[in-house]
């Protein structure tokens, strides 16, 4: 389990782009289960869409990528620092199955598919209750920024 304080130590993201509120479980070098609580006061709902607020799909994918980053740091046994950043570098087979609306709790399930040449490939599924909201294959890598 990882609360918001531990997440803030691992991810460089901050409001309004920090999209993981809590980690429920990490299975070392295998998978992560995390939560994003979707609230009406998030800034993107103002324009997406007036009268029918829907969380943008790209932000659901970003939430999955942030959970993947937390899993990768755990798998590598590394703590991020100011000289390195973990980038979201690719996405395949993204599918959106249901809209995500204010009041929903997004359960982020991500597992490591493979690691090759410094590129981590993950399988991600975002659920609302028992319904799949989004699924995708994500690729991320660590880069030196100093």
What value, to the nearest 5°, has the Cα angle with vertex 77 and ends 71 and 80? Answer: 75
What value, to the nearest 5°, has the Cα angle with vertex 113 and ends 81 and 8? Answer: 30
Options 5, 13, 28, 48, the catalytic residue: 48
pLDDT at 46 over 90: yes
Would you state the pLDDT for residue 110? 98
Would you state the pLDDT for residue 11? 93
The pLDDT tens digits of the residues spanning 14-24 come to: 999 999 999 99
pLDDT at 123 over 90: yes
Quickly count helices (H) and strands (E) in the chain: 2, 6
Would you state the pLDDT for residue 84? 83
Q: How many domains in the chain?
A: 1
**Coil, strand or helix at 67:** helix
Residue 92: CATH number of its domain? 3.10.129.10
Q: Is 120 a catalytic residue?
A: no
What percent of the chain lies above the pLDDT cut of 90? 88
| Interior/surface letters 12-22, b for 16+ CB within 10 angstroms, e for the rest | eeeeeebbbbe
Kindly indicate the confidence band of residue 98, based on its pLDDT and cuts at 50, 70 and 90.
very high
Show the domain range for 83: 4-144
């Amino acid at each position: 389990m990882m609360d918001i304080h531990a997440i803030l130590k691992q991810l460089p993201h901050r409001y309004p782009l920090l999209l993981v509120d809590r980690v429920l479980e990490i299975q070392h070098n295998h998978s992560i289960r995390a939560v994003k609580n979707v609230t009406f006061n998030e800034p993107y709902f103002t324009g997406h869409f007036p009268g029918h607020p829907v969380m943008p799909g790209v932000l659901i994918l970003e939430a999955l990528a942030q959970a993947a980053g937390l899993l990768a740091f755990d798998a590598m046994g590394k703590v991020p620092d100011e000289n390195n950043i973990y980038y979201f570098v690719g996405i395949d087979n993204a599918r959106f199955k249901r809209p995500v609306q204010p009041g929903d709790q997004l359960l982020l399930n991500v597992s490591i598919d493979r690691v090759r040449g410094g590129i981590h490939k993950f399988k991600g599924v975002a659920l609302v209750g028992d319904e799949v909201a989004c699924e995708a294959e994500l690729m991320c890598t660590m880069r030196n920024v100093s």
